[in-house]
Chains A and B, each alone.
Chain A
Amino acid sequence: GEDVEQSLFLSVREGDSSVINCTYTDSSSTYLYWYKQEPGAGLQLLTYIFSNMDMKQDQRLTVLLNKKDKHLSLRIADTQTGDSAIYFCAEFNQAGTALIFGKGTTLSVSS
């Protein structure tokens, strides 16, 4: 079945770049997603990438997709303390009716 894996923790200093990595198993995924969860809140859709793209940039966010290796990454430039949160990588199941999430990467930003 589908599976998504992420590293659990990342600690960076304010102003540095953060790179959060994810591997997925379902090569038929049309879209891959990044969600952000702040303490006590629901999930916020940060960005997504279509499977036929290698890269997508959206302000401080850059998503890189290596379809051959089934590897997805999220780069946050000029990381701020407000970026401290849990970041989830997700893909759809084959029917497109259920999102499969990784365990989440906790990003800690120190000033």
Chain B
Amino acid sequence: KAGVTQTPRYLIKTRGQQVTLSCSPISGHRSVSWYQQTPGQGLQFLFEYFSETQRNKGNFPGRFSGRQFSNSRSEMNVSTLELGDSALYLCASAPTENYGYTFGSGTRLTVV
């Protein structure tokens, strides 16, 4: 059974640019969540999608957005990148809520 796949693995962007990260969940999983991991703040919840609907959003500015497609694949977008957006972005999927999430390997974003 294939795991959660995130692309790309590494990304370097310049301040002010925008970036799109992609996540393919485990087949059959309809809940997809995104987390930001930084050394200072640890793991912080960004948003969760289920059947193309955003059900929950963390405390991040509007520059962070996401969406989920009908095949459960998800993308997150960060516009007007700032240096502080440098982080490991992790995607996770689960069959439904209150289920242990399976995480992908993450996308390491560096903003210069």
Contact = CB atoms under 8 A, between A and B. Distances in A.
Contact of B56 (A33, A98, A102): A98
B45 interface: yes
Interface in B24-73: 31, 33, 35, 42-43, 45, 48, 50, 55-56, 58
Interface residues of B, number: 24
A98 B45 contact: yes
B68 to A, nearest CB: 13
Contact of B105 (A35, A41, A48, A98): A41
Given A42-B106, A43-B90, A93-B56, A99 B98 contact: no
* Chain B interface, >50% SS class: strand
B97 A97 contact: yes
Interface string B66-90: 0000000000000000000000001
Interface-centre pick from B6, B58, B100, B104 (highest chain A CB count, 10 A): B100
Contacts of A102: 42
A93 to B, nearest CB: 7
A96 B103 CA distance: 16
A92 B100 CA distance: 9
B47 to A, nearest CB: 9
B56 A31 contact: no
A97 B34 CA distance: 11
A52 to B, nearest CB: 14
B98 A96 contact: yes
A44 interface: yes
Interface in A41-78: 41-45, 48
Interface of B: 4, 6, 31, 33, 35, 42-43, 45, 48, 50, 55-56, 58, 90, 92, 97-98, 100-106
In the A-B complex, list the 10 residue pairs whose CB atoms are closest, starting with the nearest.
A96-B98, A96-B97, A101-B43, A43-B103, A97-B56, A42-B103, A98-B45, A42-B105, A97-B48, A103-B42
